[in-house]
């Protein structure tokens, strides 16, 4: 009790007793409560995850069972395991394999990515950094076009492309991208470029850089997060775009993955190949997933920088 008293009477005040055992019991009780709380929360989340993923898991496992077993029940585990659906799906279209559709999809998506990156970044640089007459009017007009429903543009666009003979080619799907028609991506990049310090360009200007050199050597490399965001979303949007590709590509030579997947089903009541469909759907998810994962780090940076969610 009597430790060292430096100041006479004050020692009684300085020394306090506490029940170490009670403190330990209280700490253990709190720890047990915390573990229980975490366990319950995780259990709930896992259950929700299963509910949400069940259709995908079911589809994935169904692609590994024989065709006649697919709708036999809602059970997950196949009675017979087979890769036949993948073979059937891949070779279903006579002299064409599913690989041809992948190539078509990649060509369209790849060109769309290049088009959007080149054209949207140039348009964005102009809006963000150059001064020209009625700049704000043009910018507002461009933003307004985001609100125009795609269905309202579809028919006049189709008629236009039909007249100039571009239907059944990739051109209607690719060429507009080189004209900065995706206003959202222009907007995204304008916002990003505006956040770059103007002194960088002024320094480059004094260093002797032309407009083009400032855009190409200063602004573009620094806009990488916005460019990656644009590339990823353009790729995913184009790769998954069923509607436009269905309208403009009727010939099997140009057919793409989303349109080809529809061919597995016969809406007139004939034979549908669900096994093949499931197998090819799974295969077709691969590139998107890969592209997404590869650019995830930069993508998150781009979105975070812009405050977009």
Partner 1 sequence: MASVTLDNLTKNYGGGAINAVQNLDLEIADGEFLVLVGPSGCGKSTALRMIAGLEEITDGAVWIGDEFVNDVHPKDRDIAMVFQNYALYPHMTVYNNIAFALQLARVPKDEIDRRVREAAGILELDDYLKRRPGQLSGGQRQRVAMGRAIVRQPSVFLMDEPLSNLDAKLRVQMRAEIAALQHRLGVTTVYVTHDQVEAMTMGDRVALLKDGVLQQVDTPSRIYDVPANLFVAAFIGSPTMNLYQVDFLSGSGGEPSIRLGGSTLDLPKAVLAHRPGLARYVGKPIVAGIRPEDIRRAEDTGGAASIVGKAELLEALGSDMIAHLSIDARAVQVSSSDSLEGISATEVEGGSARCVARLSARSRIRLGDIVSVVFDRERFHFFDPETGEAIWN
Residue ranges binding partner 1 (CB under 8 A): 197, 199-200, 202-209, 213, 217-218, 221-222
Question: Minimum distance between the CB of residue 248 and partner 1, rounded to whole angstroms?
Answer: 39
What does residue 96 show for φ and ψ, rounded to 5 degrees? -105, 140
Question: Minimum distance between the CB of residue 296 and partner 1, rounded to whole angstroms?
Answer: 21
Instruction: Give the nearer residue to partner 1 in terms of CB position, either 210 or 237.
Output: 210
Of 195, 255, 198, the closest CA to residue 223 belongs to 195
Question: Minimum distance between the CB of residue 223 and partner 1, rounded to whole angstroms?
Answer: 10
Encode burial over 102-129: b for 16+ CB neighbours within 10 A, e otherwise. Answer: bebbbebbebbbebbbebbbbbbbbbbb
Question: Minimum distance between the CB of residue 216 and partner 1, rounded to whole angstroms?
Answer: 12
The 8-class DSSP code of residue 93 comes to: B
Instruction: Give the nearer residue to partner 1 in terms of CB position, either 160 or 211.
Output: 211
250/261 Cα distance (integer angstroms) = 14
Sequence-ordered alpha helix ranges (H) in the chain: 11-14, 20-62, 84-90, 98-129, 135-146, 150-163, 171-174, 183-194, 198-206, 211-213, 220-222, 224-240, 243-248, 257-262, 274-294, 296-306
Instruction: Give the nearer residue to partner 1 in terms of CB position, either 82 or 295.
Output: 295
Question: Minimum distance between the CB of residue 174 and partner 1, rounded to whole angstroms?
Answer: 30
Instruction: Give the nearer residue to partner 1 in terms of CB position, either 5 or 213.
Output: 213
Length of the chain: 309
Instruction: Give the nearer residue to partner 1 in terms of CB position, either 28 or 207.
Output: 207
């Amino acid at each position: 009790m009597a430790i060292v008293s430096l100041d006479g009477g004050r020692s009684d005040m300085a020394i306090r007793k506490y029940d170490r055992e009670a403190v330990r019991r209280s700490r253990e009780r709190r720890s047990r409560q915390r573990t229980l709380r975490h366990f319950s929360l995780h259990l709930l989340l896992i259950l929700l995850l299963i509910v949400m993923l069940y259709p995908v898991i079911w589809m994935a496992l169904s692609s590994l069972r024989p065709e006649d077993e697919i709708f036999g029940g809602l059970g997950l585990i196949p009675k017979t395991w087979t890769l036949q659906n993948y073979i059937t799906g891949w070779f279903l279209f006579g002299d064409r394999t599913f690989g041809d559709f992948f190539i078509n999809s990649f060509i369209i998506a790849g060109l769309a990515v290049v088009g959007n990156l080149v054209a949207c970044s140039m348009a964005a640089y102009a809006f963000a950094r150059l001064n020209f007459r009625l700049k704000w009017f043009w910018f507002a007009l461009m933003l307004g076009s985001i609100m125009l429903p795609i269905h309202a543009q579809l028919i006049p666009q189709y008629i236009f492309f039909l007249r100039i003979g571009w239907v059944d080619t990739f051109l209607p799907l690719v060429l507009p991208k080189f004209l900065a028609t995706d206003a959202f991506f222009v907007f995204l990049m304008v916002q990003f470029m505006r956040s770059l310090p103007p002194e960088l360009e002024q320094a480059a200007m004094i260093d002797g850089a032309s407009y083009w050199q400032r855009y190409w050597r200063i602004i573009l490399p620094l806009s990488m997060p916005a460019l990656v965001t644009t590339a990823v979303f353009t790729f995913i949007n184009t790769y998954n775009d069923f509607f436009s590709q269905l309208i403009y590509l009727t010939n099997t030579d140009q057919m793409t993955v989303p349109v080809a997947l529809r061919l597995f089903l016969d809406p007139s009541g004939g034979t549908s190949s669900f096994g093949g469909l499931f197998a090819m759907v799974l295969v077709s998810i691969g590139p998107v997933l890969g592209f997404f994962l590869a650019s995830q780090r930069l993508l998150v940076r781009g979105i975070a920088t812009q405050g977009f969610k």
